[in-house]
Chains A and B, each alone.
Chain A
Amino acid sequence: GRRKRARARHKPCELRELEVSVSELGLGYESDETVLFRYCSGTCEAAVRSYDLSLKSMRSRRKIRKEKIRARPCCRPLAYDDDVSFLDTYNRYYTVNELSAKECGCV
């Protein structure tokens, strides 16, 4: 039930974009300039590898217990976009790197 619902609601891992103001990024800059924020979103069910299955098996057999492990791929940027620059409300320029995703994948 739960998995089926999730699959119906979520698209596979892909790049999406939002137009946001620099202030909304939450990085501490005050600027009304608008930037394109690209991010990775979606499910990675199709990308489960033998690695993930085996890792799960090791955990259930209690061969791995205390370590923090992740037995599922997750949707993350594989590459980041070019730098973005803007003028803040105090007329100072700033340049931010690795702000936006350029390519996504299940890793």
Chain B
Amino acid sequence: MNFVEYGDTIKDGDTAIVFLGHESMFPVKVQHGTVTQTKYGVIRHSTDLIGKKYGSKVTCSKGGWVFILHPTPELWTMNLPHRTQILYSTDISIITMMLELKPGSIVCESGTGSGSLSHALIRTVAPTGHLYTVEFHQQRAEKAREEFREHGVEHLVTVTNQDVCKNGFGVSNIADAVFLDIPSPWEAIGHAKSALKAEGGRICSFSPCIEQVQRTCLAMEEYGFTEINTLEILLRVYNVRTVSLQIPDLGEAAEDNSGTGFDSSNPSHQGSPCANLQEGTVQFKSGVPLREVVGHTGYLTFATKS
């Protein structure tokens, strides 16, 4: 395995994702002789993991089972050890598309943080592109380097430990895209411009506060960026539930009407298990929004250097 190439079987040294159940998973580093404890019992790497196919069901010592998944940047994002606040896949998706990233793209990023976005960027620009990522926090930079090595992608990324606002990205005129997730992005716009290729490129800045966006936009304009556009993207997840509503007793037998009424409004034609008149209730399947959702992550400001 690695993060940019699928493999069939689990090998020594791989990072694999142990999937326990709905939204519950964690990463393991596969090593001969090592064991991992789960609430369903012990997983012995040598016998239970190595040589098995990714996607297999593994039975633990207590008889419970888990699935072992191939790592992807998206699964890593959900499971990585947080050293900072991270970007999630919803924002990452739109960033990747709006920065027009593809195999071969050269990208500059700052800060590296926990490497959530970095893994997704590397995945997209591989095998011929490169990521230059700048992190001013020495320990975080070290840790990120270590992770990239473990995940078999170190050849696609350069981690630099410096202050992007003062010293820039350490490269000039080579990037197709620049991404900024720092507290004062307006101080790095000049450096971003010089990192981008002479013939142009795209830039994105992520900021939680509108005041930061304001200053960033002004700086972008000042440096001659065009197509400046700020947006926000929100994810809505729906739980699929079977809901049953009681039919009120109005003192008359009106069963037939209500039954067919629900049936026809339901577009699913196969079997139609949704409308079921039973003992005065109507059943249907619904996509129910979660009770609490993420209302705001950050504003994304995009612009073009041309």
Q: Do A and B bind each other?
A: no
